[in-house]
Amino acid sequence: MTFLAPLLLTLAAFAGVPLLVHLLRRRVTRRVEFPAVRFLLQTQREHSRERAVRNRLLLLLRLLAVLALVAAAARPMASLGGTGHPPLAVAIVLDQSMSTRAVIDGSTMLSRLQQAAQSVTSQLSADDRAWLVTNGGMVVAGDGATLNREIAELQPLAGAGDLSGAVRRAAALVAAGAPRTPVVVVLTDGQHAALDTAITVNNTAVVVHAPVVTIPPNRVVHDVQVEPARWVPGGRLVISLSAPDSAAWRVVLGDRTVSRGVAPASEFSSPQQITVVAQAEDSGWLAGRVEMDADDFPGNDARAFAVLSGAPPSVVVQPSAGPFVDAAVDVLVSDGRLRRSASPSGASVVITSAVDEVSRASLRLAPLDPLQIVSANRALERAGIPWRFGAVRRDTVLVDDALQNAQPQPSAHLSGTRVTMRYRLDRVATSASADSGVVLATAGGQPWIVAGSNYVLIGSPLHVAATNAPVLAAFVPWLRDVVTQRLSDGATLAAAAPNDTIAMPVQADSLRFPDGTQIPLGSGRLVVPEATGVYLFRRDARTVGALVVNAEVEESDVAAWGGDIWKDRIAGSDVQLEPRAANVAEAVFDRSGGRSLTWPLVLLASLALVAEALIARGVFAPRTSHPVHA
């Protein structure tokens, strides 16, 4: 037997009250003159044994009543007897991802899941503990009525959310509800991308409800690539889309439709590629959108993109940067992506050795000569850059620049680049408000390329004596991205899914929403807004970057809807798949475990009190039949 409120067992001390009363009553102070004491003595003589038994029985019944009430207050559970369903610690994980917007037989998938959730919450008892956990990050604890209201107010997310995290959180919550039987109810559309990692729940019972439904036709805009990063003023949009039937599409840039067409039928796994050449009529950041005809799966038939339009950034390449960088800049200038500037003071970006003193945004390269490291570090200190060159290493290592914390993610990668000479990059302590920078690439597991708000620092010189990067095909696009997106003022472009948490891609003091509203930003990490669209980073009343928020394209993959996959992804001793919504509540409440003994104990206490009252009134005492009469 276990108790839900064991502290209340301390009230068992009240069981001593009847004993105390019994003892105190021995000290009688009231005296009454009564001539017929002889009858009283005779009564006591004749009934003393019977009276002693009766008094002990009364005492036992009173003790039993007190103890039963105390035990009932402690809300015991036992596997035998009891009433109601077993007290549960139940967490309802409700999938409100974008895919639950799908309309099936006239109602959305989310409303079906909400009904299934409410079938559980409506049967919760006072002994249960319950939580509502969503993949949108919401965690609410409360009784059935509270959770019912919260469930009814849920709306579909614009993205996938974090269902795996929600299930883990739910498992942790119900584990804290011991000694109640822990149960996690996962109510999901069964979209396979939602539960992206396997989860171990051990002994926690899990009921997964993924309704079996007919999947509606789905038109999806998979991706929109903007080439180049800066339009001067024109560029290309590479659009990926799929539709089970031929569907019309159109591209909207700013307030005007710049292109439209009809896409042939294609599978989700092999989307159509459409390239659109367009011109920007305004300079600066422009919000755009690719749309398809609406279907019963709203939310993924449109996708936002952002275009930066304007003159190419001007760049100065110092001789200390070496010939390879200079040659690569020549290529970018000839392609119209960059402009050369006559002097560093008029340039947007300066590419130089770290030894040189530079006050503008700069790409700084490690010196080829190790003797210059001291000068280089002094220059870094004066520039306020929180990184220093350490000892030189001359082993051969490979570069990894596919790091999750780098925003924006580079379109051209240097992963696999061989490095034969490098300096260790050490971060130094700075004030809290200073830009501590992020690691864009590692070599041999150590920082190799780091970046801040106005600098990019490389731990090797871009020379074939130190690395083969300058001779790789990806070098020129990489250099273009670094200069045009990361170092050019106001050119930072980040992409994320709704509700993601990302590193701040740029130093900004506020974020402007698509509807024009603006919210202040702190430093550190950014929680991406829920609504899709183009957001602008602002600093000192200037736009310094853009954030494009779109749903994960995997969320639109409905080909794998279904529940069977869930049993494999949730590792536990008691994982039950229940495809029928009507059976969800039964599956939840029919878990093994004890039932509440509260009411049986209250009944026992009541019976003891009734018996005590009857015995005290002498109902069971033998009576003589003849009355007193003259």
Binding residues (CB under 8 A) for another protein: these are 25, 28, 30-44, 46-47, 51, 616, 618, 621, 623-624, 626-630
Residues whose CB falls within 8 Å of the CB of residue 328, separated by 6 or more in sequence, listed in order: 470, 475, 476, 479
Write down the least CB distance from residue 626 to another protein, Å: 6
> Nearer Cβ to another protein, position 527 or 621?
621
Query: Which residues, in sequence order, are bridge partners of residue 184?
Result: 91, 206
> Nearer Cβ to another protein, position 22 or 250?
22
* Lookup: tokens for 184: 């996690």
Write down the least CB distance from residue 606 to another protein, Å: 22
CA distances, 280 to each of 259, 371, 461, 514 (Å) = 12, 49, 38, 18
3-state helix/strand/coil string of 364-426? EECCCCHHHHHHHHHHHHHHCCCEEEEEEECCCEEEECCCCCCCCCCCCCCCCCEECCEEEEE
Write down the least CB distance from residue 119 to another protein, Å: 55
Residue 146 and residue 301: Cα distance in Å, rounded? 35
Per-position DSSP letters for 459-492, written without gaps between them: SS-SSTTTBSGGGSTTHHHHHHHIIIIIISTT-E
Write down the least CB distance from residue 66 to another protein, Å: 20
Write down the least CB distance from residue 52 to another protein, Å: 12
Write down the least CB distance from residue 64 to another protein, Å: 19
Write down the least CB distance from residue 65 to another protein, Å: 18
> Nearer Cβ to another protein, position 47 or 567?
47
The maximal CA–CA distance of the chain, rounded, in angstroms, is 139
Q: Where are the beta strands (DSSP E) in 216-271?
A: 220-227, 230-231, 234-242, 247-253, 256-263
Residue 593 and residue 127: Cα distance in Å, rounded? 13
* Lookup: tokens for 473: 């095909």
Backbone angles phi, psi at 516, to 5 degrees: 100, -15
Backbone angles phi, psi at 154, to 5 degrees: -70, 140
Backbone angles phi, psi at 343, to 5 degrees: -140, 155
3-state helix/strand/coil string of 525-553? EEECCCCCEEEEEEECCEEEEEEEECCCH
Write down the least CB distance from residue 10 to another protein, Å: 31
CA distances, 335 to each of 338, 355, 511, 525, 556 (Å) = 8, 30, 33, 36, 37
Write down the least CB distance from residue 37 to another protein, Å: 4
Q: Is residue 103 within 8 Å of residue 162, measured between CB atoms?
A: no
> Nearer Cβ to another protein, position 371 or 629?
629
Write down the least CB distance from residue 38 to another protein, Å: 6
> Nearer Cβ to another protein, position 402 or 621?
621
> Nearer Cβ to another protein, position 10 or 55?
55
Helix (H, G, I), strand (E, B), or coil: what is residue 109?
helix
Residue 495 and residue 303: Cα distance in Å, rounded? 12
> Nearer Cβ to another protein, position 520 or 627?
627
Q: Look at the alpha carbons of 378, 379, 385, 389 in this order and tell me if their dihedral is positive or negative.
A: negative
Write down the least CB distance from residue 18 to another protein, Å: 15
Residue 526 and residue 364: Cα distance in Å, rounded? 27
CA distances, 529 to each of 193, 407, 551 (Å) = 21, 16, 11
Write down the least CB distance from residue 610 to another protein, Å: 17
> Nearer Cβ to another protein, position 106 or 622?
622
> Nearer Cβ to another protein, position 32 or 371?
32
Write down the least CB distance from residue 618 to another protein, Å: 5
> Nearer Cβ to another protein, position 7 or 628?
628
* Lookup: tokens for 84: 């109601």
Write down the least CB distance from residue 17 to another protein, Å: 17
Residue 63 and residue 65: Cα distance in Å, rounded? 5
> Nearer Cβ to another protein, position 5 or 621?
621
> Nearer Cβ to another protein, position 50 or 281?
50
The CB-side HSE value for 446 (13 A sphere, CA atoms) comes to 21
Helix (H, G, I), strand (E, B), or coil: what is residue 510?
strand
CA distances, 504 to each of 27, 418, 508 (Å) = 81, 29, 8
Residue whose tokens read 């007193």: 628
> Nearer Cβ to another protein, position 49 or 524?
49
Write down the least CB distance from residue 175 to another protein, Å: 54
Write down the least CB distance from residue 27 to another protein, Å: 10
In the chain, the N- to C-terminal Cα span, in Å, equals: 62
> Nearer Cβ to another protein, position 41 or 519?
41
Query: Which residues, in sequence order, are bridge partners of residue 422?
Result: 393
> Nearer Cβ to another protein, position 517 or 617?
617
> Nearer Cβ to another protein, position 39 or 599?
39
The neighbour count for residue 129, using CB atoms within 10 Å, is 21
